[in-house]
Amino acid sequence: MEDPESLRVRQGNTMNKAIISLATVLKDLASTKSDYVYYENSAVTHLMKDSLGGNCLSIAVFTIQNGDLKGSSLTLNYMKYSRKIVNFPVVNDSKALGLLKKYRSEIIISQNSTGKGKIDSGDGYNYKIVELEKKLIEDNLDKMRNADEKSRLAQKLAELREKYNQLGLFFKLIIKTIIFI
């Protein structure tokens, strides 16, 4: 069994490296200037790649300690950086993936035709991204509306079946009374 103090000393460098690399990733994601974020500095940031800048919504809980001004200040700075991070999560269905594939191929074709090796960050590219995001959001809204409509129609169908069964019993009762008369 290892001494807790020596374990804490041995893990200190790894924890500091993870905290520093997390701060760097948060700063890079929060700034609009950086085109690329390097997640591979530590295992922590590499594991958090999808949750920080990927295709998901994330909730972070930041805690500060009373009396620890330096630590609380750093925590509040990290919180400030994380508030500036903007993700556009998309439900990964076949339609959305197909659209993304199509537009990625169009971007590659346009890059090859212009002779540029990298994506141009001009207004046309940003406009295209905004249009794609808008289209994906509209598709997701349509999917939600269709699901609501489907559940409403299923409920209506169940009500109609119940009424049909009641009418069937009613007519059977009438036929039996007519036969007896």
Buried b (16+ CB within 10 A) or exposed e, 104-129: eeeeeeeeeeeeeeeeeeeeeeeeee
Q: Whole-model pTM?
A: 0.45
Whether residue 43 sits in one domain with residue 121: no
Whether residue 175 sits in one domain with residue 100: yes
Neighbour tally for 72: CB within 10 Å: 15
pLDDT for residue 167: 83
Phi, psi for residue 165 in degrees, rounded to 5: -65, -40
Whether residue 61 sits in one domain with residue 30: yes
> Looking at beta carbons, which pairs linking 92-98 to residues 24 or more positions away fall under 8 Å?
92/55, 93/143, 95/139, 96/136, 96/139, 96/140
Whether residue 60 sits in one domain with residue 117: no
Phi, psi for residue 124 in degrees, rounded to 5: -65, -40
Whether residue 132 sits in one domain with residue 75: no
pLDDT tens digits, one per residue of 48-97: 887 887 777 788 898 998 998 888 898 899 899 888 887 777 666 767 76
pLDDT for residue 119: 47
Cβ-contact 37, 28 below 8 angstroms:
yes
Domain span holding position 77: 4-83
Q: Which residues of the chain fall short of a pLDDT of 50?
A: 119-120
Whether residue 167 sits in one domain with residue 107: yes
Whether residue 164 sits in one domain with residue 99: yes
